[in-house]
Structure formats: structure tokens, C-alpha cells
Chains A and B, each alone.
Chain A
């Protein structure tokens, strides 16, 4: 997950979903898809989203509709690398803590500042992905260096044992 290309907005409130989609549309690098239920979004995971903005309540989607936490659990179980940001009209801390417990990256209260906060979340995730990418690169470099060093030690031992090199070279 090097870059954010696809974003899902899963919300049964069409105005909220459209406002967020419009807000994020200023970044032409993202493809933003709206789904009005968790079930619909799960069916479309072949679109490979990197971030899912997920509503906490799906009261309008019907009695049998999965709630936000159920959808969050399914997403994290099947696609652990996908980051889920919960959206809710509730500013109760216990609701936020509950969603974080199940792996949500962040929790945003639906308010006038929600759109700006969503943008910040995306930038924080991009920053984190970049740092993770760099950390992975350094890890690979360290391993490669270790392997090269080990190979050199083995070569020296082999050369020594075969007599191609000795403790007292002839020129000394």
C-alpha cells in the first residue's frame, strides 16, 4: 500500500457522503466511491480501497443492515491493511474508543470540521505510508549488507582453508 488511489465513503446519509466526496474531489489523484450500506461496500472491495470512511450508524439502511462496528470488523478481518476511519454524529468518547478497539484508524464526529479532519487523516496516512516505505527500504538494505558481509567472511575462510591466502603472505 504505497499510495492512496481509491477511497470508499460508506454512509446512508446521501448529503453527508456527497459533501465529503465533493470535498475530496479537489485531489484528482483519488478515486472516491460512495456506498450507502456496508454490505454494498464489501461487495465492491475488488476496487481495492486504501481508506474507508465508514458511518457508525446505518439506521436508514434498514433494520437488517449491518452496523458500522460489524462492517469495521469484517473489513479488518478480510483486509487488515485497509485503514478505516469511523464517522458518527455522536461525540461520546466510549463510542470512539470502541471503534479504535476494533482497529479503526481514527474517529471523526460529523460536524462542520469533519471534512477538514478527513483531509488531515488522509495526509497523516500518506505520511505514515511513506515512513513505513522508508523503514522497509532501510530494513532491506540492512539485510542485504548483512548477507554481503557474511558472504565475504565465508569467502575469506574458504580462501584461507584452501591455502589461497595465508597468515604470512610471501611478500612480508
Chain B
């Protein structure tokens, strides 16, 4: 299975400082599951403006953790939910996004272990 996350940016950003990398990754690992759960319930409730806002808030962290496929998906989710377009595709997109994030979180946990 291909890696979903890439810590290249964080390594450069921190100058390779493992404590700082650990700090940012830990913050992401704490934040991401809550945000994913919020997105799921917002989709179930068809609260598309809420879904857009949550996707928007999570987007930079996905970028910093180098989750490229996740970045593409979250941008589309944010756009579709915000503009109410192709909302029928949102469940499958969110499902794939969650799978990608879960795999990325497993990788990141090992990286900072």
C-alpha cells in the first residue's frame, strides 16, 4: 500500500527538529478524528455549509502533513458542499477522504513513535 502522508514539508519547516515535528503531528492526530466525525454528522444532517466550514478548517493541516490525495479530496468536498454542487458525490468522497486520513494517521503515529 502506498504511503498517504509525507513529512518533507514539516522536516524542512522545523529544520529537522524531531520534538517540533512530534508536536505538530500530535496536534494533527488529536484534531483530525474529531473533524472527521464532525464532517460525517454534518453530511448526514445535510448541513452543507457546516461541512464546507469544517473541510475548510482542516485543509491546511492536511497540506502540512503532506496528505496529497486527502488535499485533493478535501478541496472538492469544500467546493461542492459550499456551492451545493454534485452533493450526491459527497458521501463517496468523504468516505474515501476518511480512509486516506485513517491510513495517514496510522503512518504518522509510527513516524513519531
Which residues of A line the B interface, CB within 8 A? 12-16, 18-19, 22-23, 57, 59-60, 89-90, 110-112, 114-115
Contact B56 A59 (CB under 8 A): yes
Binary contact readout B14-27 vs A (1 if CB under 8 angstroms, 0 otherwise): 10000010011001
Contacting residues, chain B, for A16 (C-beta < 8 A): 60-61
Contact B13 A23 (CB under 8 A): yes
- Judge if B69 is at the interface, Cβ distance under 8 Å: no
Contact A60 B20 (CB under 8 A): no
Given contact pairs A15-B27, A19-B64, A57 touches B57 in the complex (Cβ within 8 A): yes
A34 CB, nearest partner CB in chain B, Å: 13
A151 CB, nearest partner CB in chain B, Å: 60
Cβ contacts A to B, 7 pairs, < 8 Å:
A13-B61, A19-B13, A22-B14, A23-B13, A57-B56, A59-B57, A114-B60
Chain B's closest residue to A88 (CB) is: B56
C-alpha spacing A90/B53, complex, angstroms: 11
Given contact pairs A22-B20, A57-B56, A59-B54, A15 touches B61 in the complex (Cβ within 8 A): yes
Contacting residues, chain B, for A13 (C-beta < 8 A): 57, 60-61
C-alpha spacing A23/B28, complex, angstroms: 18
Which 6 residue pairs of A and B lie closest in terms of their CB atoms, listed nearest first?
A59-B53, A110-B60, A15-B27, A89-B59, A112-B9, A89-B56
Contacting residues, chain B, for A111 (C-beta < 8 A): 60, 63
Contact A19 B24 (CB under 8 A): yes
Chain A's closest residue to B50 (CB) is: A59
Contacting residues, chain B, for A59 (C-beta < 8 A): 53-54, 56-57
Contact A115 B57 (CB under 8 A): no
